[in-house]
Amino acid sequence: MIRMIRSLMKIWLVAYMACGCVACRSNKKSHPLEGEAAVSVPCLRDMGIVRPIAGWSREDSNMTRFKYRDGRMVGGYSTEYGTFIVETHPLAFRVFKEKKSVATGRVREVCFKPVRVAPEGYVVYMEFNGMEQEAANGGKARPFRGEVSASYDSEGHITEMNYHRENSSGCRETGVARYTWKDGNLETVVSDVSHTNNLYERHEIYTFGYDMQDSLKLNPGIYLQEMNCFSGLYDFIWYAGLWGKTTRHIPQTVTYEKVGDGENRSETQSLTFTLQPEKNAAILSYGGVPRFSFDYFPVSCP
């Protein structure tokens, strides 16, 4: 009986190792920054955010609303890119926007999967696949795919993001964004983007100022628009906490420099952050002009 059990165990072990080898060979080549397979988004409490942003709106009437459950984002809606859903076990994102007629604009659907994270829950690598359909493209469906990787400092702030996207027509966009931080505050964002065999190249620098230390305002959980350098990476991924912590304080100035893409310019604007506690809201102004309004939850993570 004992011999039989030992024989069965040997057979099982050989079969297990064989299956394991087949599985390894069938996987795609590993990415140097790959972490663990993610099962859910981080809890915002762990990010130091106890009053998460419920939504934001822009001066041009575009807006995004977020839904949370047990302190974690589960989905929402954007006037720009449509409905988004956060799936768990394993973690994945689905984004889709539909129009009644292709002639009225773009139809798009994107799935972000797989998603791999660091032990803290921040994304280190993920892939995305999707389809877009435009009137300018004769109404034909055009698939696209891409990948993104990121690295972080010991405090949980993103320091570098690498992005690649290509579609079935051969159009490619490749970019890298680098972030510097000091005392928990975002200091600079530097991005370089090239598109389809150098059809255009763009170099952008954002430098943030925190000059009047005694009047600095704590950030309730806003991710500045300048942090997102790639349009294919939607804002909800930032607000879900998947790209690390946001800036501790709201900056008071931002200097924008751009070189390439047929344009060279530099501009500095003041930033004014106005809290409206009675409305659980806030307004962020650039150069004295209100640009963004935010709503946030009145107590802790919902």
Instruction: Determine the pLDDT at residue 12.
Output: 35
CB atoms within 10 A of CB 296: 20
Residue 160, amino acid: E
Residue with tokens 């946001």: 246
Instruction: Determine the pLDDT at residue 201.
Output: 86
Instruction: Determine the pLDDT at residue 209.
Output: 96
Peptide bond before residue 114 is cis, with ω within 30 degrees of 0: yes
Instruction: Determine the pLDDT at residue 197.
Output: 66
Instruction: Determine the pLDDT at residue 158.
Output: 98
Within 13 Å, how many C-alpha atoms sit on residue 71's CB side? 12
Asked if 7 and 14 touch (Cβ cutoff 8 Å), the reply is no
Instruction: Determine the pLDDT at residue 231.
Output: 83
d(CA 92, CA 161): 19
Instruction: Determine the pLDDT at residue 234.
Output: 93
Q: Is 15 exposed, middle or buried (0-12, 13-18, 19+ CB in 10 A)?
A: exposed
Query: In the chain, helix, strand, coil percent, each to 5?
Result: 15, 50, 35
Instruction: Determine the pLDDT at residue 34.
Output: 59
* Boundaries of every domain in the chain: 32-296
Instruction: Determine the pLDDT at residue 263.
Output: 73
What class has domain 32-296?
mainly beta
**Residue whose C-alpha is closest to residue 166's, from 198, 182, 196, 144:** 144
Instruction: Determine the pLDDT at residue 271.
Output: 95
Name 258's bridge partners: 204, 265
- Parts of the chain with a pLDDT under 50: 1-33, 100-104
